């Protein structure tokens, strides 16, 4: 069962945007998907609750009688949207489960600094060689100095930049209704779908 973890200890970088859309993509492909959080507070539940029932199903954690959360029976793919401040035992749990790890980041000094330290921690982890990792640029604005600095930073990291996702209200409007890019007419989000294609190809590998 593939487990895709979306992580960055910095808050507000777009982890939930990436996680929900990855889950939506997998569900649209016909997989039995669980979207969860390694935090037992399950912050993804609000988005799941807003998701229209006629769309491809995405489920949350099952809470067993022993109070341990588990993927629902029949789950084939897991997407974990991790909380801000991910470290210690939570990071260990995420790395133990992960097959692939996506690291969203924005073109700001604070995001770059936090991500640099996080990548160093990940690369030093005993399971680093067994987890495929990649970066996702978030809220990217073309032809800006911030974007130039972001690319200069990414060039110093031993991880690939899988996609650069533009700064658009499409993600905001869709998330408010429990939707993803894959749940609306392609013509409405054609540019965004195009930006996702390299990431989709990476997820297939």
* Domains with residue ranges and CATH for the chain: 3-204 (3.40.50.300)
pTM for the whole thing?
0.92
pLDDT digits (tens, 9 = 90+) for 142-184: 777 777 877 888 888 889 999 999 999 999 999 999 999 999 9
Q: What is the DSSP pairing of strand 100-106 with strand 3-6?
A: parallel
Q: Dig out the tokens for 158 from the structure.
A: 């031993």
Sequence length of the chain is 205
Dist. CA 111–CA 103, nearest whole Å? 11
Q: What is the DSSP pairing of strand 77-81 with strand 100-106?
A: unpaired
pLDDT tens-digit profile, the chain (205 residues): 899 999 998 888 899 999 999 999 999 999 999 998 776 556 678 899 999 999 999 998 876 555 556 888 999 999 999 888 888 888 888 899 899 999 999 888 788 888 888 999 999 999 999 999 999 999 888 777 777 877 888 888 889 999 999 999 999 999 999 999 999 999 999 999 999 999 999 999 8
Cβ neighbours for 84, distance < 8 A, ≥ 6 positions apart: 9, 10, 11, 12
């Amino acid at each position: 069962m593939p487990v895709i973890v979306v992580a960055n200890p910095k808050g507000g970088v777009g982890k939930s945007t990436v996680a929900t859309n990855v889950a939506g993509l997998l569900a649209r492909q016909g997989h039995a998907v669980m979207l969860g959080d390694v935090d037992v507070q399950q912050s993804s539940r609000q988005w799941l609750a807003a998701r229209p029932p006629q769309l491809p199903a995405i489920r949350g954690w099952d809470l067993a009688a022993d109070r341990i959360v588990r993927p629902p029976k029949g789950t084939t793919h897991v997407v974990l949207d991790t909380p801000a401040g991910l470290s210690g035992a939570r990071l260990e749990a995420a790395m133990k489960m992960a097959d692939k790890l996506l690291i969203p980041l924005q073109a700001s000094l604070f995001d770059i600094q936090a991500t640099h330290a996080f990548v160093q921690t990940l690369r030093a982890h005993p399971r680093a060689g067994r987890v495929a990792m990649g970066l996702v640029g978030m809220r990217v604005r073309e032809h800006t100095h911030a974007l130039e600095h972001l690319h200069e930073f990414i060039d110093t990291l031993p991880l690939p930049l899988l996609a650069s996702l533009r700064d658009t209200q499409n993600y905001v409007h869709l998330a408010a209704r429990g939707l993803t890019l894959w749940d609306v007419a392609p013509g409405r989000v054609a540019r965004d779908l195009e930006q996702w294609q390299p990431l989709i190809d990476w997820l297939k590998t």
